Amino acid sequence: MHRTDEPHDVVHLGLPPEAGLEQSLEWAVAHAALAPSEHNSQPWSFRATLRDGAATVDLLLDESRRLEVVDPDQREAVLACGAALLNLRLALAGAGLGVVVVSCPDPERPELLARLSVGGETVERDVDGPLRLAVPLRGTHRGPFESTDVPSELVAHLVAEAALEGAFVAPAEGAAHAEVVRLTVAAEESLWSDAAYRREAAAWSRANSTGQHDGVPGYASGLGAVRSWLQPTLAVATGRPAWSLEEMLEAGYHAPVLLVIGSPDDSRPAVLRAGQAMQRLLLRARAERLAASYLNGSLHMPELRKDLGALVQVPAPQVVVRLGYGELVRPTPRRGVAELLVVEREHSDRRPG
Ligand SMILES: Cc1cc2nc3c(=O)[nH]c(=O)nc-3n(C[C@H](O)[C@H](O)[C@H](O)COP(=O)(O)O)c2cc1C
């Protein structure tokens, strides 16, 4: 059956001029839904409370989508929520709504990551229109990049752009570049030799013809229909990812740019900021015709993560982004807006007169 709340479709349809607050929130949540997440687990949900023509929107970490093996502390899930938060902010600004974001560390409610006050005075204008337009175009590009070099001024621009969100961004160049790739390959070898890791990855792998709204279809790693269908079984049985480690090494070395994004520590507000920085960088990159994917293996192994941090001088590295020129990739599935957003209405008790 046709889904009217499919996030790519909702974003592409745009907002009619007469759209009210609720429709604008749905459109903004559709943008948030297009954020990247480990295994496309989409660990977010949104709760909006409408009152007197304004809204409060809570960004919640969806604990039920936890990746027990690869992300037991939900560090990557919070990063993904940060990316979703940036998309949400961009879309709300694009809808002409004022937005104030409050980060919410509350030991009683660790799942509440941020609260947005929407519809008041406009503090974030649509100055980032090109980033918002890049939201539905961004996708993880796991294949080789074109051989064209990325101009150093553009790299500096991307680094500065990500730093706007208050994160560390360190380019890994020369010997450091080769060392990051080496750490990644060492980590991937170890991770794929772990049966629990393979089972979890397989559980989120999807055949190309998937009707599911999450997980990673084989086409995202360049697999054809039959291979995409066999891949989960093969991965569990053989202990190999869809691509060979040699291919990965090749691709990593041919990445014109490697950037490590990090934070002062692993507290939720710091990781949420790093996630917004990551997404700002990915969107600016896409707007500049650059494609991106991740070399995150070493971040899943505490010793190697420490080595990576020391190498690029980032206290808590959160994500390693590989960038180069590349074409658009086919979009991956997303959960619908109706599943992600709960809207409540509160009535003002002020009486007229
Ligand atoms: C924090 C984080 C970690 C990720 N780690 C990896 C990874 O190690 N390997 C990989 O191929 N993709 C990785 N991804 C990309 C996701 O698989 C991808 O975002 C998801 O499948 C949705 O696809 P899309 O990015 O094309 O929209 C990661 C994404 C995020 C946000």
Please name which of 338, 330, 337 lies closest in space to residue 141, comparing C-alpha atoms.
330
Q: What is the pLDDT of residues 33-87, one digit of tens each?
A: 999 999 999 999 999 999 998 999 999 999 999 999 999 999 999 999 999 999 9
Instruction: For the chain, give the mean pLDDT.
Output: 92
Mean pLDDT of all residues in 131-144:
95
Residues in the chain: 353
Contact 181, 312 (CB under 8 A): no
On whether both 341 and 308 belong to a single domain, the answer is no
Q: Does residue 109 sit in helix, strand or coil? A: coil
On whether both 314 and 340 belong to a single domain, the answer is no
Residues having CB within 6 Å of any atom of ligand 1: 36-40, 76, 79-80, 83, 139-140, 142, 216, 220, 293-294, 296, 319, 332
In a domain, 223, yes or no: no
Higher pLDDT, 324 or 351: 324
Query: In this structure, which residue's CA is closest to atom 4 in ligand 1?
Result: 38
Q: What is the pLDDT of residues 17-26, one digit of tens each?
A: 889 999 999 9
Q: What is the pLDDT of residues 195-250, one digit of tens each?
A: 999 999 999 999 999 999 999 999 998 889 998 898 888 778 776 666 666 676 66
On whether both 315 and 339 belong to a single domain, the answer is no
Mean pLDDT of all residues in 275-280:
98
Give pLDDT, residue 353. Answer: 38
Range of the domain at 252: 152-193+239-325
On whether both 31 and 168 belong to a single domain, the answer is no
Mean pLDDT of all residues in 117-141:
85
On whether both 90 and 163 belong to a single domain, the answer is no
pLDDT over 90, % of the chain: 76
Q: What is the CATH number of the domain that holds 96?
A: 3.40.109.10
Q: What is the pLDDT of residues 295-317, one digit of tens each?
A: 999 999 999 999 999 999 999 99
**Pocket of ligand 1, candidates 8, 38, 86: which has the most ligand atoms within 8 Å of its Cβ, to mutate?**
38
On whether both 93 and 36 belong to a single domain, the answer is yes
Give pLDDT, residue 126. Answer: 67
On whether both 46 and 166 belong to a single domain, the answer is no
**Pocket of ligand 1, candidates 31, 37, 198, 204: which has the most ligand atoms within 8 Å of its Cβ, to mutate?**
37
Q: Give the side-chain half-sphere CA count within 13 A for 118.
A: 31
Kindly state the greatest CA–CA separation across the chain.
75
Q: How far is the CA of 37 from the centre of ligand 1 (A)?
A: 5
